[in-house]
Amino acid sequence: TQLLEQSPQFLSIQEGENLTVYCNSSSVFSSLQWYRQEPGEGPVLLVTVVTGGEVKKLKRLTFQFGDARKDSSLHITAAQPGDTGLYLCAGGNYGQNFVFGPGTRLSVLP
């Protein structure tokens, strides 16, 4: 059974700080996705990474896929209150359903 772990589980920081959250597995994935979910809403897809070592940037968010395609990180620079939410990672393989991690709940205080 493929499992994804995310750390930290909860994170509360002040506006303007930097942070990194992690997604780890013992399994190899052909692709990995990051989502942000706000309370009472569905997850919104932020990025998909498919190549080991790949780095993608989305404004203040930087996503990295591990060389072995077993882990990923999300770094946020100068966090803002609008970044508050549940960050989910999901790993996928050809012909298989996605496996979701439990999420990191981020709170950015003004």
Partner 1 sequence: ETGVTQTPRHLVMGMTNKKSLKCEQHLGHNAMYWYKQSAKKPLELMFVYNFKEQTENNSVPSRFSPECPNSSHLFLHLHTLQPEDSALYLCASSQDPGTSGYEQYFGPGTRLTVT
Residue from 15, 17, 41, 67 that binds partner 1 (CB under 8 A)?
41
Residue from 36, 103, 104, 106 that binds partner 1 (CB under 8 A)?
103
| DSSP states along 48-83 | EE-STT-EEEETTEEEEE-TTSSEEEEEESS--GGG
Is 72 a binding residue for partner 1 by CB under 8 A? The answer is: no
96 Cβ partners below 8 Å, 6+ apart? none
Is 28 a binding residue for partner 1 by CB under 8 A? The answer is: no
As given in the structure block, the two tokens for residue 88 are 């989910």
Is 33 a binding residue for partner 1 by CB under 8 A? The answer is: yes
Binding region for partner 1 (CB under 8 A): 30-31, 33, 35, 40-45, 48, 50, 88, 90, 92, 94-98, 100-103
